[in-house]
Each structure stands twice: as C-alpha cells, then as structure tokens.
Amino acid sequence: MTTPPPVADLTTPLTELVGVRHPIVQTGMGWVAGPRLVSATANAGALGLLASATMSPEQLRSAVREVKSCTEAPFGVNLRADAGDAGERVRIIVDEGVRVASFALAPSRELIARLKDAGVVVIPSIGARRHAEKVAAWGADAVVVQGGEGGGHTGDVATTVLLPQVVDAVDIPVVAAGGFFDGRGLAAALAYGAAGVAMGTRFLLTSDSTVPDAVKAQYLAAQVKDVTVTRAVDGLPHRMLRTPFVSSLESAGRVRVLVRAVRHAAGFRKLSGMSWSRMVRDGLAMKHGKELSWSQVLLAANTPMLLKASMVDGRTDLGVMASGQVAGVIEDLPSCAELVERVMAEAVEVLGRLSRH
C-alpha cells in the first residue's frame, strides 16, 4: 500500500463529512474511474468515486473489493439513480461498507433514506439551484455543483454563477465542479463558500488513469477552443473534444444515427449483462418526469459505447472523448499523489498570501 506524501491539510465540512484528508473529489467517469484510479486518489488523501454505470452489479462488487484491497482510505461509488437495478447496487454499497454514494441524477427520497439509515454519505450531483434545494430537503448530506465548463453532460450556467447560488440556498456542504484543475481554483471555490472541488478531466489526465496513452496525448494537445458541446451523441448537451468523428456524428442523418444507437444498445446489453426488458425499464425510468422523446431514450445507448471506444479501446476515430474546458490548459500527466500534493500546496500558498494582504 502506498503511503501518501506529506501535504498541507485544509479541514472543511467535506473532509469532516467523508473522512478524507483533502477537500478534493475525483469524479465518477464511465470507463475511466475504475479501481486503479480510485485507489490512487484515495491513497493521495482525496475522495475517489468508482463509476458504476458501466459495470454490472457483479463487476461493481469486484471493483469495490479491489479498491479496498489497495487502500484503507474512504472512497465512494457513483450510481445512476434511475437504473432499474439501483436497489441492488445500493445493497452492494451497504454490504461492502462503502463510505459514500454519489449520483449523477437526483436520487429519490426513499433511496437517500435507505443509504443514510445504513450510514452511507449521500452526495448527489446537480446542475441547478432548485435541484440542490430538493435533495437537501430530502436528506442529502452534500451536493456536487457542476457548472457548464464541466465535461460530459452539462448545463449552460457557468460555475462562477451557479456555485454562489447553491451555496446561498442550502445548509449542507457544497462541492464545486466544472473548470477546476489547480490550487488556485480550490482557493477560489473555498472563497465562494464551497467545501471543496471535484475534478474529472484533471484526474483522467494522470499517470494512474487507465485511459490509453495515445488518447491522453490528444487531450494534452487540445486547446480551449477544441472543447465543444454537442447534442449529437444522445440528444442532450454533452461537452467533449471536437474531433472529425464528432463532426461526422453531427452531420449524420436521423435514420443512420438511430440505427447506430440500436447497435450500441445491443453492444451495451452484452457488456453489462442486462436483459432487453431491463434496458426497456431503464429507458422508461429515464423518460419519467422528463421531456425526452423515445429517440432520445434510444440514443442514450450511444453514450457508454462511444466513450468505451475511446477511453478503453483507444479508438478515437470511433468514439468520443468527454472533456471539461480545462483540457485546454492541462499540460502534464502527474500521478494522483503528485497532483493532490500540488493542488493542496498551491491552495495553501494562495490562501496564505491573500490573508497577508
């Protein structure tokens, strides 16, 4: 087991809530946030989140046990609240003693209560003040607030506008996401009233990330202008690197796009071990309470498979690269330990310098 290097500590409501040394969260990125990255993050003193949406329940249990074999530090699991087997995944989290459950979509009041009754810390991710207010009223322990700069599915409100709105609206710890990559950002988030920052792209671009080296090289070569938002993947706004493949998706006809989605749905069913009936139920759950067309529900199958093509198989000509805008300013591949140490040292230096003025 790797012993983390000595780095400056900043105690915040987040560190006290989840028991980590540093107010930094590594987000649950599909096909990226696996046991290696999560355990390296945990050993560095930050909170790592396993991405479970691309795992079967059996794979999730195995991944949790692998992380536990590599670290004694707290970590979490990111879940899809609308998945048909969410209850089974919650049972795995509870059985295995996982410290934190995070959600990309707001979990139900009942799911929050079940986790809290078992002593699990519940941290949903939200993109609007009203969603933060809702989950806080339901008993969520903290929220991750992602502004429009963030990678993957995103909104159009900048972090610097959304973050203070949410901080003022709820009485639980708020973690800032979208546009963070260094200690200056952490210091700025703390100044806004956040309890820490969450970073995806910055952790993807570490030596502990399992993303193929050639794919990492494309991220490092990207400029800020090379990061775009498109609806071509699944009908929802999705921030990613602009590539010839993304352009081809945007120019493809509707029939061609839907045929590809059906093929990807079949591929994901095989990988995940899900039945067609379970996939249909998950589609109905996605649609419930949302203004989604059936085409959008079907297109959702594109997301995991197009991400896998790049993040696992290294085929950026056949897949997409979800990315925050910060990809345009990241230039190296430190280890998670080096990254956390750097961010913390810089944040402490910045805060100290400001306090002297």
Q: What is the CATH number of the domain that holds 80?
A: 3.20.20.70
Query: What strands lie across the sheet with 227-230, from one edge to the other?
Result: 152-153, 238-241, 227-230
Which residue in the block uniquely carries the two structure tokens 């210091």?
187
Q: Average pLDDT for residues 15-30, to the nearest whole number? A: 98
Same domain as 308, residue 159: no
Same domain, 28 and 140: yes
- Whether 189 and 298 map to the same domain: the answer is no
- Kindly state whether residues 201 and 249 are assigned to the same domain: no
* Domain identity same for 291 and 178: no
Q: Which of 46-50, 103-107, 110-114, 251-255 has the lowest mean pLDDT?
A: 251-255
Domain assignment of residue 218, yes or no = no
Residues 63 and 201 placed together within one structural domain of the fold: yes
Smallest Cα–Cα separation from 24: which of 49, 2, 5, 4?
49
Going along 172-241, which residue ranges are E strands?
A: 174-177, 196-199, 227-230, 238-241
Residue 216 belongs to some domain of the structure:
no
Give the pLDDT band of residue 252 (cuts 50, 70, 90): confident
Number of domains in the chain: 2
CB-CB contact of 229 with 239 (8 Å): yes
User: How many Cβ atoms from other residues are within 10 Å of residue 100's Cβ?
Assistant: 26
Q: Is residue 106 part of a domain?
A: yes
Percent of the chain with pLDDT over 90: 73
| 197 and 176 share one domain | yes
| Integer Cα distance of 75 and 233 in angstroms | 30
Structure tokens at 71: 């670290």
Angle between helices 183-192 and 159-169 (to 10 degrees): 40
pLDDT tens digit string along 157-167?
A: 999 999 999 99
Q: What is the pTM of this model?
A: 0.89
Residue where the block lists tokens 């409501």: 13
2 is a domain residue: no
CB 329 within 8 A of CB 219: no
pLDDT number for residue 4: 46
Q: Do 203 and 305 share a structural domain?
A: no
| 100 and 154 in a common domain | yes
The model's pLDDT over 167-222, given as tens digits with 9 standing for 90+, comes to 999 999 999 999 999 999 999 999 999 999 999 999 999 999 999 999 999 999 99
Do 188 and 73 lie in one domain? The reply is yes
d(CA 24, CA 116): 22
Same structural domain for residues 18 and 111?
A: yes
The pLDDT confidence band at residue 249, using thresholds 50, 70 and 90, is: confident
User: Quick check: helix, strand or coil at residue 41?
Assistant: helix
- Same domain for 175 and 229, yes or no, is no
Tell me, yes or no, whether 304 lies in a domain: yes
Residue 1 belongs to a domain:
no
* CB contact at 8 A, 240 and 228: yes
**Of 152, 246, 130, 264, whose CA–CA distance to 204 is shortest?**
152
Establish if 174 belongs to a structural domain. Answer: yes
Residue span of the structural domain in which 37 resides: 13-210+330-355
In a domain, 236, yes or no: yes
